[in-house]
């Protein structure tokens, strides 16, 4: 393989993994923007979506029906989360909200362990997704291509939503100034529920792509993705949607780059190097790349 081909291959890898991080980070960023809540339970929506899809697959439905069902499952879970756990404590100190999100995580994961057992289960990825394209020496897996296409479509739709629709503009308004949003008569409950719904849909999509990639699901599978998404949104600037996307892709590139550059003895410590890079970035830009200075919360 020529060097150019190697670069192209790794580039596609990075964009694909970056797409997943970006989609996850958007969910965190939207909720953080409005509520100043870092919703660590966001990762568990991936798990809910994946198990939802797996259940349907076991029952024999076609893959696309199961995929849709998984996304619906994670969306319902996300909306319930907001209604049951977060709405009652809205306006509470940030720490209380953060602790609540840990509680939701622990609850969801343990329910999943009880219901599905802690043993990972195989995720029957359809062979149409598992195969690879070949361009000469270059091999591109279909799942990477699908991930990138899906991410592009969702990002375009999201952009249209937040710039062209009243509800989307209301969401940007509420995330900038909640007091003014209330005074304008924006239906803040609806805006917040919509933010959770969009984030959950994206988490459901990520869950499917993730499960199809690794070929298995387990009750704790949401932990790493949410951690990565959190890093991505901090890189981009917490609360900024564009920042979340940028941070997601940057993180994807950084990981693949380190994977390629690090000698094999250091490779297991890749994530430590990622965090070192994050710390260095935050030293120079404490609010992330696109973050604005912290506003007063009202």
Partner 1 sequence: MLTLEDVNVYYDQVHALKSVTIEVKEGELVALLGANGAGKSTILMTISGILRPRSGHVRYEGHDLTRSSPYDIIQVGIGHCPEGRHIFGNLTVQENMLMGAVQRKDRAGVQRDMEWVYSLFPVLGERVRQSGATLSGGEQQMLAIGRALMGRPRLLLMDEPSLGLAPVIVQLIFKVIKQLHQQGVTILLVEQNARQALQVADRCYLLETGRVVMSGPVEALRTNPEIERIYLGGSAV
Q: Is the distance from CB of 44 to CB of 50 less than 8 angstroms?
A: no
Give the shortest CB-166-to-partner 1 separation in angstroms.
Answer: 6
- Rounded distance, CA 26 to CA 28, Å? 5
CB of 96 to partner 1, least distance (A): 17
- Least separation in angstroms between residue 186's CB and partner 1 is 5
Nearest to 48 by CA among 22, 20, 74: 74
Decide whether 107 or 289 has the Cβ nearer to partner 1: 289
Kindly state the smallest distance separating residue 181's Cβ from partner 1, in Å.
8
CB nearer to partner 1: give 159 or 187. Answer: 187
**Enclosing H/E stretch for 122:** strand 121-122
Cα 203 to Cα 78: distance, rounded to the nearest angstrom: 9
Q: Which is nearer to partner 1, 183 or 279 (CB)?
A: 183
Residue 162 vs 258, nearer CB to partner 1: 162
Residue 58: burial class (beta carbons within 10 Å; 0-12, 13-18, 19+): exposed
Q: How far apart, in whole angstroms, are the C-alpha atoms of residue 169 and residue 161?
A: 8
Q: What are phi and psi of 119, to 5 degrees?
A: -70, 130
Of 255, 279, 252, 289, the closest CA to residue 269 belongs to 255
Q: Least separation, in Å, of the C-beta of 231 and partner 1?
A: 24
CA Rg value for the chain: 19
Closer Cβ to partner 1, 10 or 159, answer by number: 159
Residues that bind partner 1 (CB under 8 A): 166, 169-170, 172-173, 176-177, 179-188
């Amino acid at each position: 393989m020529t060097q150019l081909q190697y670069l192209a291959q790794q580039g596609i890898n990075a964009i694909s993994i970056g797409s997943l991080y970006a989609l996850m980070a958007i969910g965190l960023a939207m909720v953080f923007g409005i509520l100043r809540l870092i919703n660590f339970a966001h990762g568990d929506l991936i798990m809910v979506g994946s198990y939802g899809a797996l259940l349907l697959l076991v029952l024999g439905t076609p893959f696309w029906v199961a995929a849709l069902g998984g996304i619906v499952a994670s969306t319902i879970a996300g909306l319930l989360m907001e209604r049951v756990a977060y709405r009652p404590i809205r306006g509470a100190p940030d720490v209380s909200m953060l602790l609540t999100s840990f509680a939701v995580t622990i609850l969801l994961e343990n329910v999943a362990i009880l219901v599905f057992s802690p043993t990972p289960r195989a995720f029957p990825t359809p062979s149409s997704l598992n195969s690879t394209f070949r361009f000469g020496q270059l091999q591109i897996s279909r799942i990477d291509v699908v991930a990138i296409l899906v991410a592009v479509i969702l990002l375009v739709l999201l952009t249209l939503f937040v710039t062209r629709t009243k509800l989307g503009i209301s969401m940007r308004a509420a995330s900038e100034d909640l007091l003014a949003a209330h005074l304008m008569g924006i239906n803040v409950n609806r805006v917040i529920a919509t933010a959770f719904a969009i984030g959950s849909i994206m988490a459901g999509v990520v869950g499917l792509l993730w499960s199809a990639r690794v070929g298995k699901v387990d009750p704790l599978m949401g932990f790493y993705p949410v951690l990565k998404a959190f890093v991505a949104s901090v890189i981009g600037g917490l609360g900024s949607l564009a920042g979340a996307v940028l941070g997601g892709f940057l993180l994807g590139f950084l990981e693949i780059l380190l994977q390629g550059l690090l000698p094999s003895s250091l490779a297991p410590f890749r994530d430590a190097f990622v965090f070192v890079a994050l710390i260095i970035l935050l030293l120079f830009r404490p609010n992330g790349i696109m973050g604005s200075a912290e506003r007063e919360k009202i």
